[in-house]
Structure formats: structure tokens, C-alpha cells
Structure 1
């Protein structure tokens, strides 16, 4: 049973005559009649009651008419869906992001993308850079938003703008000052709370400024550092965007002006895997 035979059958069922159906289909009567006979032979039932002036449907014919309409409509919808998926205007985007970007970068870009492609859905996973890389390697996500460094031999990427690092503490930790900024060595007597990814560079800068910092805690997750800072346990040195992870608290934020500490994020994808059309379109937002 072919789609063509179903279209022929529906035309005859709706017109009630071979002549009118052939004219509507823009074919001659003999091939139309032949296709109907072949369809009946394939199904092993009589679909049409024929007389000189009119054709009527048998009970099996009425059933096939209903199913043929459904089949052809489903086929049409399927073809449209496949075309939309191939063009990247429909489908699901599997994406992973470091937690701070999940609150800052991702919502803005997803809002923009959703306005352009409302039929694309998302599966968003969040975690630290190491977890996002693991998900990429396992093929569980297509795109990741992570912080440098990562292996550029394995991943293609688009670099995002640099982000400054800030010192975050509970009220009363920082001395009142006219300047909103501070120097890194102003924290020489504080308990520092830092992300493991930034430990090496922070230690290096502290040594250049002539002191050995007391690092009370290193963590693979920024959120606990902010919670500890909010409790007055120490001063967290974190990317500026991550402060929003504890929205609504009383944390005090000071820019670190000397040296200027920065961190850089990137949108990355695995070099050995082809991107879906949806993922390719999403990347265009960052270019």
C-alpha cells in the first residue's frame, strides 16, 4: 500500500466517480482504475461498489477512508517536522553550564533563542566545569558553558568576555572605605574561601605581593563558599556573576583592583561530534 494509492482512493471516495477523480488528480482513468484494483487485491477486500454512474464505499472502504486521511496527514506532519529539525528550527538542545552562567548567561540567550525558534525545547544541566566536560565527553550534552582552562585539542570553543573576580564577605568584615575596590594584600589576614580552579593563580599573586594567604577552604562548588562567607567564616574570592547565586542575602562585594583578577568562560563542544542544526543555530548567538 503506497501513499499514492491512498491519495487516489481518497479522491475517488470524495468525488464518487472515476472520471471526476481522474480529472482532479490530473491523470487518465485507466491507471487510476488499475491502482484501485491493485489496492483491493493487496488488502484482500472490496473497497468500492461500482455502477455505471456512481461509486460508493463498502464498510471496509469507509474504514480505509478514515485511516487514509489520518495516514496522509501524519505523513505530511512528519515531513514538515523532519524539515524543521534539519533546519534547526525544531528539536531539543542538550546543554550544560556552570552554575553561575546558568543564572546569568543562559537565561538571556535562551530567551533570545526562544523568540527566534519557539519550537525548540531545552534540557539544561548545571555543575562545575569538570562535570560539564564529563557530560560532553559522554555525549549527554552537545554544548557546554565552562571556565578556562580546558583542553583545546579536544574541544572547539567560542571565548566569552572576561569576568572580574571579587571579594565577598559578611557585613563588618571589610573596613569602611571610601573606595569600592581593594587590593589583594588587604586580605592577608583574612580566612580565604576560593574555588579550586582559581587556587593556583590566587596563590601566585599573593606570593608576588609578599604574603602567604591562609586558605580556609577550597571547593569545587562556589555556592558553599558564598554560604560560608555569608556566615562570617571567611572572605570568598569568586567570579562576579556568581554572587547572584545567593540572591537576597546581605553579602558585601568589593572589586579587587590590584592585581586585576579575571576569569574567562567559553561555549564549547566536542570536536569529534557533529553538531545538530539546533546546536549550530544556538552557537550563532555567541558569535
Structure 2
């Protein structure tokens, strides 16, 4: 199995026809069919079900699609990085960001740096911390902005300032209008919207307070939690930066008094990526993100 076969396989899987795939690849159909057949013989499975009007992928083909996409993307990334290394700060930087990174990305330093290095392009992917962490380790990303807590082994991390978690309340909860902070006990009878990122943190805290929280929703994106709170459906528990960024004026934002409810954005890369001028130059544009002593 080689990269050429995988590229041919992906083209056929995406087009659903040998003819259309051959046209897309700028090759004749017989060599394409031969490469697919060789790949099937090597793997010992049928990757496509042949139909009168085209082809569909088999269960084995579906499995291979994901791996083929990763391998071909990694190959292209490796080629680009090696070529770019000799040219200094140039090329494409693959950046991953969590939804709550809007307060730090982009900043004025980065915009000035990009203006000075117009050969640099950013390829931005959004996802949750664990998805982006996985892509960092697979070398599909060069840099990622993640949110604590996560396993920081084998990474170079620079930390932005800690921020408190807040409760975002529909304005109908007038009893909290004059309060600056809320205790967990204040949330005991309220419908809560939980950002899944902090499942364990809140589970332990509520357990210690000896009451069962009333969750009406759990989601993977803090912006979604804010949107539901804005619609007056429940109380969102999110980082302060998210609350302030997406505040429409229809909610109350109150800090949680318990100081354990802090989180940080982290600028993370791998030691190998940091060795390149492109990534090192990018990382230097965030002087407010500091390494831990």
C-alpha cells in the first residue's frame, strides 16, 4: 500500500465513479482500476461494491477512508514543512483553536507579523481540546490553542492568564441582580447548562456540597451553552471570556466564589514543530502566554 494508491482510492470513494475519479486525477481509467485492484489484493478485502451506475465503498472501504485521509494529509504536511524549512519563515501553519479562544486569537502582534510575512498562510481548524490534542500528536497541527485541564506530556506549552468560571443567568433570576458572586449552593434549584469540558470538575464540586444538580443540557461548545442561556432556558457554566464575548445583554454574568473554578487557555506545540522558524516565530507573537517555571 502506497500513497499513490491511497490517493486513487480516495478519489474513487469521493466521486463514486471510476470515470469521474480518473478525470479528476488526470489519468486514464485502466491504470486507475489496476491500482485499486492491486490495493484490494494486498489488503485481502473488497474496498468497493461495483454497481451498474458506479461504485460504493464497502465496510472495509469506509474504514480505510479515515486512515487514507490522515496519511495523505500528513504526507502533504510533511512535504510542505520540509520545503519551507529551507526558506525560513514561510509556508502554511496548521493552527487548531477551541471555540473559547476568541479573547486571545488573533492579537495585534500576530496581525503585524502576518503583514510582515506575507508568504505565511494559516490553515485554521476548530475543535474541542481533546480533538485538537490528538491532531497535535499526530502532527496534523503545528500549534493549537487548548483549554485546561489536559495531559501536557510531550508538548511545549505557554499559558495565558487564568480566568474564573462564571454562571450566566437569565435575567428573570432577579434575586441575583445585586450579587457579584454565587456559591454552588445558589445553583442547587436552578436548571443548569453544562459545558462538557468541565464534567469532572463540577461533578466533584457538587458531590462535596451534597446535592444533585439539575442539568437541562450538556454540550461540547461553550458558545452553544451561552446561546441557550440567552434564550432564557437555563444557567450556563462557562469561562468568563466566553461569557463576555457572547453577552447580548439578556443575561446576568456572575463569578463562582469557589476559586477552584479557574481555567486557562494554553498555546501548545510539539518540540519538533517548535524547531521550525515558522512555528517559533508564530509562538513569539503571544508574549502574554508564558511557560511555567
Please give the TM-score of this superposition, normalised by the length of structure 1. Answer: 0.63
Q: Is residue 165–residue 255 contact of structure 2 (8 Å, CA) maintained in 1? A: yes
- Which whole-Å CA distance do the structure 1 matches of 2:85 and 2:140 have between them? 22
Contact in 2 for aligned 1:85/1:278 (Cα 8 Å): no
- Corresponding residue of 2:98: 98
Pick closer, same or farther for the CA change 1:280–1:112 going to 2, 3 Å. same
Shift of 1:201: 1.1
Residue 169 of structure 2 aligns with which residue? Answer: 169
Matches within 5 A, 1:73-92: 86-88=87-89, 90-92=90-92
Distance 1:91 1:171, change over 3 A: same
Native 8 Å contact 1:183 1:259 kept in 2:
no
Query: How far apart, in 2, do the equivalents of 1:245 and 1:237 lie?
Result: 14
In structure 2, the residue matched to 1:217 is 217
Question: Partner of 2:140: helix, strand, or coil?
Answer: coil
Match of 1:207 in 2: 207
CA distance in 1, matches of 2:186, 2:118: 50
- Could you tell me which residue of structure 1 aligns to residue 121 of structure 2? 121
Matched with 2:78 is: none
SS in structure 2 at match of 1:114:
helix
Instruction: Tell me the distance in 1 between the aligned counterparts of 2:183 and 2:116.
Output: 44
Q: In the aligned structure 1, how far is the partner of 2:84 from the partner of 2:194?
A: 48
Cα distance, 1:282 vs structure 2: 1.3
Counterpart contact for 1:166–1:238, Cα < 8 Å? yes
Tell me which structure has the larger Cα radius of gyration: 1
**Per-residue deviation, 1:195:** 1.5
Structure 1's unaligned 5+ residue stretches are 1-81
Q: Distance in 2 between matches of 1:176 and 1:151?
A: 36
Pairs aligned (count): 204
Q: 1:222 to 1:205 in 2, by over 3 A?
A: same
Question: What does residue 251 of structure 1 align with?
Answer: 251
Separation in structure 2 between the aligned mates of residue 146 and residue 232 of structure 1, nearest angstrom: 29
User: Residues 113 and 249 (structure 1 numbering): CA distance in 2 closer, same or farther, change over 3 Å?
Assistant: farther
Deviation per residue, 1:219-246 (Å, 9 max, x gap): 2222221122112221110011112553
The answer to whether the 8 Å contact 2:274/2:280 transfers is no
Structure-1 separation of matches of 2:245 and 2:94: 22
- In 2, Cα distance between the equivalents of 1:131 and 1:260? 25
Give me the TM-score of the superposition, normalised by structure 2.
0.62
How far apart are 1:265 and its partner, in Å?
Answer: 2.0
Deviation digits for residues 69-107 of structure 1, max 9, x if unmatched? Answer: xxxxxxxxxxxxx8996432x332211110110x21111
Secondary structure of residue in 2 paired with 1:106: coil
Gaps of 5+ in 2: 1-82
Q: Aligned pair 1:281/2:286, yes or no? A: no
* Structure 1 residues 248 and 112: alpha-carbon distance in aligned structure 2, compared to 1, 3 A threshold: farther
- Relative to structure 1, is the Cα distance of residues 136 and 155 closer, same or farther in structure 2, using a 3 angstrom cutoff? same
Provide the C-alpha distance between the structure 2 equivalents of 1:257 and 1:243, rounded to a whole number of angstroms: 16
Q: 1:94 to 1:236 in 2, by over 3 A?
A: same
Separation in 2, partners of 1:258, 1:244 = 20
CA gap 1:222/1:156 in 2 versus in 1, 3 angstroms: same
In structure 2, do the counterparts of structure 1 residues 124 and 85 end up closer, same or farther at CA, with 3 Å as the change threshold?
Answer: farther
- Counterpart CA distance in 2 for 1:274 and 1:259 is 33
C-alpha RMSD of matched pairs (Å)? 2.6
Tell me, what secondary structure is at the counterpart of 1:224? helix
The 1-side partners of 2:249 and 2:171 are apart by 10
CA deviations 1:225-284 (Å, max 9, x no partner) are 112211222111001111255353523211112345101221112345564311111112
Which residue is equivalent to 1:52? none
* Counterpart contact for 2:84–2:91, Cα < 8 Å: no
